Copies of this chain bind each other. A is one copy, B any other.
Amino acid sequence: MPGNTFGTLFRITTWGESHGPATGVIIDGCPAGLALTAAEIQKEVERRRPIAGSKITTTRREKDQVRILSGVFEGKTTGTPISLMVANEDTRSKDYSKIQDMYRPAHADYTYDLKYGFRDYRGGGRSSGRETLARVMAGAIAKKILLQKTKTVIFGHTIQVGDLKVKTFNRSEIEKNELRCADPVAAAKMKKMIEKIRFTEGDSIGAIIEIVIKNPPKGLGEPVFDKLEAELAKAMMSIGAVKAVEMGAGFAAATLKGSQNNDQMIKKGGKVHFLSNNSGGTLGGISTGEDIIIRLGIKPVPSISKPLKTITKSSKNTEIATLGRHDCCLAPRIIPVAESMAALVLTDKWLQQMVQNSLR
């Protein structure tokens, strides 16, 4: 089946190339009766945009004005498909004409040609990060449903850039710095490091981010293949540049014994408590109600001004240095995208649980 649809009951289909006329998403399966305005979606879209004046993100600047083309009537969702669209404006396609016949290393140029026979090379075409704009628009609706119906909140933060790791956690700091980092001291160091790598070295750098789902509904996830952690892993790995996903203790669980890793349970004050959260909020593919914790390994931005070896479309050896308006470290801009993907998964599974509860 074609690959541009995500979700089963709350289902999105995205479309659009980086330098085509527009980028959009259809949300099919949003139940009727949700109050919804373009402004609410716009707010999330703004979080994904490059920060004006920032030295660590791309300088591409677009208004990214969200339009609702269907599915909302008199301020409420009607139960019919919601079509959202944003025009592409700042598309300097000629920037790309010279790489038309070259494969940029670590980009999808080579593989798109392998798969499709040719490609829209302008700005990466469909493989561009601009596609994630559609995910964020849809995610804004999913986030609203979760907040309103289950008081679930999703946020992400940068926990490592290169070798620099955070040492403190203060959630209120996250949206105050360009790195979306909960440790302002680390954030300042990370920023300095990124600027040096970008402007002095003409290079880029990888990072690790963490996504936290606070107060998730209990009982979500569909064993055995559609386990909550499996769906989340797919959702995250479908974001370009994400090369690793772990839940709870993750890879560290390899070094733990069962007596250390098993999250013990107690009843206290009338409530069930887990004494630890190594599971990261799921057991057997189903949410326990504890925070869901996901960490993502992000590769460095492939586009760098250092020259690297590559081949041309006609298989000749050459070198390439990618000049242009690129991010240097993707962590802060991937965060709203990853939050959106988490929200889409949870909303879908929450709706599925309605069905599971139907005979009780």
Contact = CB atoms under 8 A, between A and B. Distances in A.
A65 interface: no
21 contacts: A1-B352, A5-B13, A5-B225, A9-B355, A15-B71, A24-B69, A32-B359, A73-B118, A105-B264, A106-B283, A108-B285, A110-B272, A112-B286, A114-B288, A208-B251, A208-B254, A230-B233, A230-B237, A240-B285, A251-B251, A251-B297
A134 to B, nearest CB: 9
Given A205-B257, A243-B250, A243-B251, 10 more contacts: A16-B70, A29-B355, A32-B118, A78-B118, A126-B224, A162-B254, A162-B255, A204-B257, A262-B304, A265-B309
Given A81-B15, A272-B311, A225 B3 contact: yes
A233 to B, nearest CB: 4
A231 B226 CA distance: 12
Contacts of A246: 243-246, 251, 297
Range of interface residues on chain A? 35 or more
Contacts of A229: 237, 243
A223 interface: yes
A126 B80 contact: yes
A97 interface: no
A293 to B, nearest CB: 11
A234 interface: yes
A40 interface: no
Contacts of A356: 31-32, 79, 115-116
Nearest to A28: B2
A233 B245 contact: yes
A117 B360 contact: yes
A203 B240 CA distance: 39
Contacts of A224: 3-4, 14, 126-127, 131, 238
Contacts of A188: none
Interface string A299-311: 1111110101111
A94 interface: no
A207 interface: yes
**Stoichiometry, copies per complex:** 4
A86 B101 CA distance: 34
A302 B33 contact: no
Would you call the interface of chain A mostly helix, strand, loop, or mixed? mixed
Given A125-B73, A238-B230, A266-B311, A11 B16 contact: no
Interface string A184-210: 000000000000010001011111100
Given A78-B119, A117-B360, A237-B245, A69 B250 contact: no
B240 A284 contact: yes
B3 A26 contact: no
Interface in A6-21: 6, 8-9, 11, 13-17, 20-21
Interface stretch (A43-51, A171-179, A274-282): A274-282
